Amino acid sequence: MPFDEMNHDGKVREAYAAVASWLAANDIDTLRERHAEAEAIFRKIGITFAVYGEGGDPERLIPFDLIPRVFSAAEWEIIDSGVKQRAKALNLFIHDVYNDQEIFKSGVVPTAIITGNDAYLSSMEGFSPPLNVYAHIVGIDLVRTGPDEFFVLEDNARTPSGVSYVLENRSTMMRLFPDLFTGGLVRPVDGYPDLLRNTLSECAPPACSGTPTLVVMTPGHFNSAYYEHSFIADEMGVNLVTGSDLFVDDGLVFMRTTTGPERVDVIYRRIDDAFLDPRAFRKDSTLGVPGLMEAYLAGGVTLVNAPGTGVCDDKAIYCYLPEIIEFYLGEKPILPNVPTYRCAEPDEYAYAMEHMSELVFKEVHGSGGYGMLIGPAATKAEIAAYAARVKENPRAFIAQPTLSLSTSPTLVEAGIAPRHIDFRPFALVGKEVRLTPGGLTRVAMREGSLVVNSSQGGGVKDTWVLST
């Protein structure tokens, strides 16, 4: 049986005592009424996401579960220190990749993993951003399999999303159940926008004098995460801009305003590298700003996260994170990786192919739960078709054991039932690494499903970190 976050060995775990009392005091009909209220709040505010490739209106509400996921203070201490360690190592690795490449010279990581990586940008070679920070916002996906067993499932350093749900989930719970938050038992998460603003300001470019001007840059309202872009800009109190709102002049970036051009120092961009600058990347991009990369490399503006940061999102790089942490920090990983078979390695490839029905296969460049094969849930035909893909290009795949992800009590049609969950805390990297005490808990709403991604039916929960 999977580890249940609330009930273990026939007892309610201490961290869940308040949640258990609350559930005992509220019948299912009351919870359903409150769930309908939460949906109405989400709809009124406009908390939606888009699923590309669907007919009709792709905008939908993300399923929100009322029953929170809880971490004790001791559990959070492990997560906090482990995520900070990983965020530091990732930034040191990216800096080394684009500069001295000592980790390749030492033989710890094979050079081919980078040279064959589509996210690698030769234009970043020899460049060091302010404070040597490339990944200012890092989302680390964690899973749990037992009381003291946390594993890193994935690193998200390109443009990690989901923090708007962290804040809105908490706001909704506090509105519906204010009594749950009396006494200061649950640590607040509403400090995230200020922490983000401070982090971005700390990474202002050399050309900045005085208080930095920050903006959030979005591809526009058709983007699947547009709600989050707008939300973050509002919460930080900065302008939300598109590429057409900005222009470059004499190595500096300006924003068009009703009172004339205004200097911009830091751009929190939610646009992929390829579309940032039609002069530097895709010439057909209408989303970017001509000359932006030139201004960035000259120290006229800071881009968050830095272009080329995606080199460490690659699942082939993920396999080497334990060695990367030890190489740069001289420490053992606090949070271990999920055991992983690299299909690029002949011996590991052979084992993985022989055990396809037992393993989870993932594309090295895949995301969002797409392009996966969950062996134990797949048919023989599906396994055979996937095997043909892997044989064609083994380097493009990794395989992992099917972990027994922890479950959390969840309100579903049949009542309250266990559903599998994962967790994404967000690290902010500036002069130091900071974590808001909480994060995004995603839940697989379908019984038995291990896929928590919102694009495939997953939902979200409020995440509590207890103060004691």
Q: Which single residue is written with the structure tokens 């888009």?
A: 50
**Distance (Å, whole) CA 153 – CA 368:** 13
Q: What does the pLDDT read at residue 216?
A: 98
pLDDT of residue 118: 85
Quote the pLDDT of residue 54.
Answer: 46
Instruction: Count the Cβ atoms, other than its own, within 10 Å of residue 28.
Output: 12
Query: Residue 342's beta-bridge partner residues?
Result: 398
Report the 10 Å Cβ neighbour count for 216.
25
Amino acid identity, residue 257?
T
Rounded Cα gap, residues 167 and 228, in angstroms: 11
Q: Note the pLDDT of residue 313.
A: 84
Ordered domains of the chain (ranges, CATH):
7-189+311-336+405-465 (no CATH), 206-300 (3.40.50.11290), 341-401 (3.30.1490.270)
Whole-model pTM: value is 0.92
Q: Cα 367 from chain centroid?
A: 11
Q: Which residues of the chain have pLDDT under 70?
A: 48-60, 366-370, 454-456
Name which of 247, 314, 267 is nearest 110 in CA terms: 314
Question: CA–CA separation, 10 vs 267, rounded Å?
Answer: 51
Give the other-Cβ count within 10 Å of 446's Cβ. Answer: 14
CB atoms within 10 A of CB 354: 10
Instruction: Supply 416's token pair.
Output: 């309250």
Per-residue model confidence (pLDDT) at position 53: 47
Cα–Cα distance, 328 to 124 (Å, whole number): 21
What local confidence, expressed as pLDDT, does residue 159 receive?
Answer: 87
Cβ pair 177, 443 in contact under 8 A: no
d(CA 219, CA 451): 27
pLDDT at 315: 83
